[in-house]
Chain A
């Protein structure tokens, strides 16, 4: 069932992508030369702490944020070169789910209309056909269409709003969904329901997912492969099990050690984490993690580490990878 290796023809490939923001007369280096590939039917998890560029990368894939350089190939076509109608057409195949489900829904519109909106934009003129699709996706996400379609978003809890957002993202039959922190605003008991739902929807509709989150355990639960970002660069990418069992990049290792484990017999090791990430306005030379890395030396400040295969399928950008 699980396809771990990327097949010859990935559905999405991001090639040396650079995204920068202007901030006054300064430049924020949000994404600095990231390359990734997602195979059809695969879930790629993308983890990193706030400000690492993971959300910017997600938006740059959809061309909601234009890249400075690099390419985004979706099903063989370069999205960065597309504009207007061509881009709009392509976007029907790629959808986005956000962190805050309540803020993602127009508070003045009824659920049925919110979920039908993408169909109207896509030019589905037949009202009966739209109703049929809305009915179908609302049922798929575990809501009773007859009960919810006429209601307003404020009548629903956060978990239910996220179900509605998922229904809306499915209504155009997309192939690819970018989930940007889809469960981090939800309580633990609701989070599990939504993660299970995403897995179900993926299987039922044959989806490919880019799952962006800061919580490693959440990412592992749904991902075939995981990519770790730090300060705009990719540190490590590999099959989930392998990456979590034997991280090669010291930053992945730090992230794993910093997670509080719900077991009193696992005593928290004090002093694992050092310092804070530097500003993406003036990122360190060489390896961007070197200012917090226990293994850093001269070479790490002089030379940007390339992503290299450390074990089959697992790649790390580090001059001194962990054994």
Chain B
């Protein structure tokens, strides 16, 4: 096995709030090899975005981070800000849900692209311009030369996300973090953007983390999936293995709660009762136990750790895993 490009080791993020400490990320371990795609799935408040901000070292000012984020062998947490700044945008790129967060509304698209390219790569202005045009064409923008002179507000949401992707790809990053890249977009545009990301990833042999609330988005496009709940990774496995035999009741319940196209109208949905716990009041036991139909007294008293049973690469945090072969699991 090759050395992973990114290793997240025991990362925890705490945020002070008026109601007390909020543990947004609760001791997460993850790793990703070059050229591979990791999907991080979870609902609002599960910590998926905070985890990605921890990797990028873009956490809110008051956040407290512990653990290590090893990127190509160096710990980003302890890297001086100058080195970090050089790394971000070049080797480490990000695409956000709302492209207007990353695009500057008062600068032309050309200025923003050319500036990024010149900042990180040693190219003169005409070369950077030429490269910008190539990039815009590669992400499917018609008449790229004319687009360079336009401002973000002159483009549609889908076009803006394509431009944000072009900027993210401009310096050939080794890792692209896409945080809900298609959530703000219509379904036909979403399909095009996901295609675009997959195509560029293959071409550039780039590693990618897709953060999403939609199991459908990762099912066909990630090599491995990590499911998060209440700040923790509760299940992690190669995509196919995960969907075939989910061991964590939360993952099963989440998939079951999605309306399916095959299901007949007016079929009651298997909803998950209740809602996620208050992150400022951590529970002693498993955070999903109050909503879990398999929970026993043990689940309310102790936190299950991430373990594996049959497949060493299929991890789950549950005392009563489901769909196990006989004799394994409690």
A260 and B214 form a contact (CB under 8 A): yes
Complexed CA–CA distance, A224 and B243 (Å): 30
B213 and A187 form a contact (CB under 8 A): yes
- Report the minimal beta-carbon distance from A142 to chain B, rounded to whole angstroms: 10
Contacts of B215 in A (CB 8 A): 262
B187 and A217 form a contact (CB under 8 A): no
Per-position contact with A for B23-50: 1 when CB-CB < 8 Å, else 0? Answer: 0000000000000000000011000000
B271 and A189 form a contact (CB under 8 A): yes
Q: Count residues of A near B (Cβ-Cβ below 8 Å).
A: 49
**Choice from A214, A221, A265 contacting B259 with Cβ under 8 Å:** A221
B265 and A271 form a contact (CB under 8 A): no
**Choice from B186, B254, B267 contacting A50 with Cβ under 8 Å:** B186
With known contacts A266-B220, A267-B220, A221–B190 Cβ distance under 8 A: no
Q: Is B198 an interface residue, CB under 8 A from the partner?
A: yes
B188 and A159 form a contact (CB under 8 A): no
Contacts of B265 in A (CB 8 A): 2, 220-224, 240-241
**Choice from A241, A244, A264, A270 contacting B239 with Cβ under 8 Å:** A264
A258 and B271 form a contact (CB under 8 A): no
**Choice from A189, A221, A254, A268 contacting B220 with Cβ under 8 Å:** A268
Contacts of B107 in A (CB 8 A): none
Complexed CA–CA distance, A40 and B271 (Å): 28
Per-position contact with B for A227-251: 1 when CB-CB < 8 Å, else 0? Answer: 0000000000000110010000000
A192 and B257 form a contact (CB under 8 A): yes
B195 and A217 form a contact (CB under 8 A): no
With known contacts A157-B275, A192-B271, A258-B188, A264–B240 Cβ distance under 8 A: yes
- Report the minimal beta-carbon distance from A267 to chain B, rounded to whole angstroms: 6
Complexed CA–CA distance, A169 and B187 (Å): 30
With known contacts A261-B216, A262-B243, A221–B194 Cβ distance under 8 A: no
Complexed CA–CA distance, A174 and B215 (Å): 37
Complexed CA–CA distance, A224 and B253 (Å): 26
Which B residue sits closest to A258, measured CB to CB? B191
Contacts of A264 in B (CB 8 A): 219-220, 239-240, 243
Which A residue sits closest to B271, measured CB to CB? A192
Q: Is B228 an interface residue, CB under 8 A from the partner?
A: no
With known contacts A240-B265, A260-B217, A187–B159 Cβ distance under 8 A: no
B272 and A192 form a contact (CB under 8 A): yes
B213 and A259 form a contact (CB under 8 A): no
B220 and A260 form a contact (CB under 8 A): yes
Which A residue sits closest to B275, measured CB to CB? A157
A217 and B43 form a contact (CB under 8 A): no
Which A residue sits closest to B196, measured CB to CB? A270
With known contacts A187-B44, A189-B43, A271-B195, A258–B260 Cβ distance under 8 A: no
B156 and A276 form a contact (CB under 8 A): yes
Q: Is A188 an interface residue, CB under 8 A from the partner?
A: yes
Of residues 182 through 217 on chain B, the ones whose CB sits less than 8 Å from some CB of chain A are: 186-192, 194-195, 198-199, 213-217
With known contacts A259-B261, A264-B220, A159–B275 Cβ distance under 8 A: yes
B43 and A187 form a contact (CB under 8 A): yes
- Report the minimal beta-carbon distance from B239 to chain A, rounded to whole angstroms: 5
Q: Is B79 an interface residue, CB under 8 A from the partner?
A: no
**Choice from B189, B258, B271 contacting A273 with Cβ under 8 Å:** B189
Q: Is B269 an interface residue, CB under 8 A from the partner?
A: yes
Q: Is A191 an interface residue, CB under 8 A from the partner?
A: yes
Q: Is A19 an interface residue, CB under 8 A from the partner?
A: no
B243 and A217 form a contact (CB under 8 A): no
- Report the minimal beta-carbon distance from A101 to chain B, rounded to whole angstroms: 14
Contacts of A273 in B (CB 8 A): 188-189, 191-192
B269 and A192 form a contact (CB under 8 A): yes
B213 and A188 form a contact (CB under 8 A): yes
Contacts of B263 in A (CB 8 A): 220-221
15 contacts between A and B (CB under 8 A): A159-B275, A189-B253, A193-B273, A195-B269, A214-B186, A217-B258, A221-B267, A222-B265, A224-B265, A259-B216, A262-B216, A262-B258, A270-B195, A271-B195, A273-B188
Per CB-CB distance, the 3 closest pairs between chain A and chain B, nearest first, are A260-B216, A192-B271, A49-B186
New A-B contacts (19) at CB < 8 Å, excluding given A157-B275, A224-B265, A263-B220: A188-B257, A188-B258, A189-B43, A192-B269, A196-B271, A215-B187, A217-B258, A221-B266, A223-B265, A258-B190, A259-B187, A260-B190, A262-B243, A262-B255, A264-B219, A264-B240, A268-B195, A273-B192, A276-B159
B residues with a Cβ closer than 8 A to A are 43-44, 156, 158-159, 186-192, 194-195, 198-199, 213-217, 219-221, 239-240, 243, 253-255, 257-261, 263-273, 275, 291
